[in-house]
């Protein structure tokens, strides 16, 4: 470890210790001050009426003062100025003056911490959340939701859910792995007229697009003899345009409707006999990965893998998040893309064997579609292990990859 790294670690530990000390002082002094008031109704609305503050402020005050984690206290509490107003109001309402003075000193120490280590209250809370995982998750979710709303306004469109499902089974000749992929963009809606709307983040190789589109157009048929995939749509089936990008293809809505009546669904399926090598990373680690690039405001992203028990590896699947740069997807073990890696609290869940684990409230026809697919391919869903990653408000401009090791 370099001297600079050692100094940074020492500084970080000192900040954490000092923050814990100030958090304990604040929680204790504020709790005692509130307990000294004649009015003992500790509900946000009642306390707001007594102190003459907003319910939002008193709610944060109560959560912070009663948080057992001193760092959580500093994250939950409002800023120094609202706290000073609350303390002054508590003293006027009959709280002990000496306890009010003790709380004021703790608030001053809180303000000094913010000024010394960050540019403001929100930035300081972000630093503290590094040491409080539950607060970090809440902090990230609020910011991601704000990004989602901003992206809707900028893009003029949104999508409820994106589904990517990959099924892996040994080929009939047992000399390779057959790969079948179902992709769904559901609840896609244009908010403003004239906006070019990408159908989720469907982005696949051109050969698969041509095969899938040709099958969709054939009257009364669809991929793998399922019949038209449109029957699995809850909203109006989308009509799309295909945009070529190198060897890849992207989809956009072909019509010009907007508002509530523009809401559509789109399913597409493609099959690769012995095709797993198409998605293996190039470093030869034997870890296929299935990814979605979030280039559109999506409320929820779901990536599923279903692996036949003969292919289940001792290595567990895992989630990789990267910032999307250029046309090339980030691959597992690609060291040059490690700088693009995004920390995230989401993980991969292994739910068990069988299609019943595929249920999604936002996609009620997803399970019937997959059961029909399994029936046509001659698969028994009870022989396939299901893994899922679900991301609410995925980061705009990110690549989410479910890395799924398989036994060779």
Distances (CA, A) of 18 to 11, 202, 345: 11, 49, 26
CB 28 within 8 A of CB 64: no
How many structural domains are present in the chain?
Answer: 2
Mean pLDDT, the chain, as a whole number? 82
Q: Cα separation of 110 and 347, whole Å?
A: 34
pLDDT of residue 302: 95
Percent of the chain with pLDDT over 90: 33
User: Quick check: 283 pLDDT over 50?
Assistant: no
Higher pLDDT, 277 or 352: 352
pLDDT of residue 220: 35
Residue 90: is its pLDDT beyond 50? yes
Domain C-terminal end among 85, 104, 131: 131
In a domain, 408, yes or no: no
Determine, yes or no, domain membership for 138: no
Q: What is the pLDDT of residue 167?
A: 92
* 141 in any annotated domain: no
Q: Report the pLDDT value the prediction gives residue 282, as an integer from 0 to 100.
A: 36
H runs (alpha helix) in 66-178 = 70-76, 80-92, 97-117, 121-128, 133-155
What pLDDT is attached to residue 54? Answer: 93
Is 219 within a domain?
Answer: yes
Q: What band does 296 get if pLDDT is binned at 50, 70 and 90?
A: confident
Residues 6+ apart with CB under 8 A from 295: 198, 201, 324, 396, 397
Q: Are residues 60 and 175 in the same domain?
A: no
Cα 155 to Cα 192: distance, rounded to the nearest angstrom: 9
Cβ atoms of 332 and 290 within 8 Å: the answer is no
Are the beta carbons of 388 and 303 closer than 8 angstroms? yes
Q: What is the pLDDT of residues 368-402, one digit of tens each?
A: 999 988 988 889 989 999 999 999 999 888 888 89
Q: Are residues 116 and 162 in the same domain?
A: no
Whether residue 134 is predicted with pLDDT greater than 80 in this model: the reply is no
What pLDDT is stored for residue 25 in this prediction? 94
144 within domain boundaries: no
Residue 139 lies in a domain: no
Question: Measured between alpha carbons, how far is residue 209 from residues 82, 203, 213, 242, 347 in Å?
Answer: 57, 9, 6, 8, 30
Same domain, 261 and 202: yes
pLDDT tens digits along 216-265: 443 334 444 444 588 899 999 888 887 776 666 677 888 888 888 889 99
Which pLDDT belongs to residue 228? 59
Q: Is residue 307 part of a domain?
A: yes
Is 399 contained in some domain? yes
pLDDT at residue 315 in the model: 87
Averaged pLDDT, 312-336: 78
Q: Tell me the per-residue pLDDT of 333-381, one tens digit each, with 9 for 90 and over.
A: 666 677 777 778 788 888 888 888 889 988 999 999 999 889 888 899 8
Average pLDDT over residues 302-321: 90
- Torsion from C-alpha of 335, 340, 344, 350, nearest 10 degrees: -50
Supply the pLDDT for residue 256. 84
38 and 170 fall within a common domain:
no
pLDDT at residue 59, rounded to an integer: 92
Single out the residue in 131, 160, 190 at which a domain terminates: 131
Same domain, 115 and 192: no
Do 275 and 342 lie in one domain? The reply is: yes
Same domain flag for 174 and 268: yes
More confident residue, 5 or 320: 320
Note the pTM of the prediction, 2 decimals.
Answer: 0.72
In the chain, % of residues over pLDDT 70 = 83
Residue-wise pLDDT for 108-129, tens only, equals: 999 998 988 877 888 888 888 8
Distances (CA, A) of 330 to 201, 237, 372: 15, 32, 32
Residue entry with tokens 């470093």: 283
Residue 369, domain extent: 150-403
pLDDT digits (tens, 9 = 90+) for 158-190: 999 999 999 988 887 667 788 888 889 999 999
Across the range 195-218, mean pLDDT stands at 57
Contact between 90 and 24 (Cβ < 8 Å): no
- If you count DSSP H runs as helices and E runs as strands, how many of each does the chain have, helices first? 10, 13
Identify whether residues 159 and 121 lie together within a single domain.
Answer: no
The reply to whether 314 and 172 lie within a common domain is yes
E strand or H helix at 43 = none
Give the tens place of pLDDT for each residue, 33-53: 999 998 777 789 999 999 999
pLDDT confidence of residue 336? 65
Residues 350 and 231 in one domain: yes
């Amino acid at each position: 470890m370099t001297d600079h790294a050692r100094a940074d670690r020492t500084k970080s530990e000192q900040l954490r210790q000092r923050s814990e000390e100030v958090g304990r002082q604040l929680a204790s002094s504020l709790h005692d001050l509130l307990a000294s008031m004649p009015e003992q109704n500790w509900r946000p609305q009642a306390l707001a009426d007594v102190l003459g503050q907003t319910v939002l402020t008193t709610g944060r005050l109560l959560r912070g003062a009663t948080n057992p984690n001193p760092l959580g206290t500093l994250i939950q509490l409002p800023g120094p100025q609202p706290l000073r107003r609350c303390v002054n109001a508590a003293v006027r309402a009959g709280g002990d003056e000496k306890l009010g003075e003790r709380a004021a000193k703790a608030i001053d120490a809180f303000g000094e911490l913010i000024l010394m280590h960050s540019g403001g209250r929100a930035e300081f809370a972000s630093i503290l959340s590094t040491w409080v995982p539950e607060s970090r998750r809440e902090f990230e979710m609020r910011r991601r939701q704000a990004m989602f709303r901003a992206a809707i306004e900028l893009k003029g469109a949104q999508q409820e859910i994106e589904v990517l499902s990959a099924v892996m089974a040994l080929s009939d000749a047992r000399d390779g792995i057959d790969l079948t992929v179902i992709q769904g963009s559901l609840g896609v809606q244009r908010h403003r007229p004239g906006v070019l709307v990408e159908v989720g983040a469907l982005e696949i190789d051109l050969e698969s697009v041509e095969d899938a589109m040709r099958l969709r157009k054939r009257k009364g048929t669809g991929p793998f003899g399922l019949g038209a995939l449109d029957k699995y749509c809850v909203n109006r089936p989308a009509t799309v345009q295909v945009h070529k990008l190198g060897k890849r293809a992207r989809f956009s809505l072909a019509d010009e409707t907007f508002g509530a009546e523009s809401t559509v669904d789109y399913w597409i399926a493609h099959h690769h006999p012995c095709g797993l090598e198409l998605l293996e990373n190039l470093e030869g680690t034997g870890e296929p990965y299935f990814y979605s690039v979030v280039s559109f405001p999506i409320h929820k992203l779901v990536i599923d893998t279903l692996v036949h028990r003969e292919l289940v590896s001792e290595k567990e699947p895992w989630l990789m998040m990267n910032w999307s740069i250029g046309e090339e997807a980030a691959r597992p073990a690609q060291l040059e893309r490690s700088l693009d890696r995004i920390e995230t609290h989401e993980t991969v869940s292994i739910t068990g064997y069988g299609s019943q684990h595929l249920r999604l409230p936002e996609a009620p026809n997803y399970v019937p579609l997959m059961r029909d697919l399994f029936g046509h391919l001659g698969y028994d869903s009870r022989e396939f292990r299901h893994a899922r990653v679900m991301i609410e408000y995925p980061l705009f401009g990110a690549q989410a990859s479910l890395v799924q090791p398989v036994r060779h």
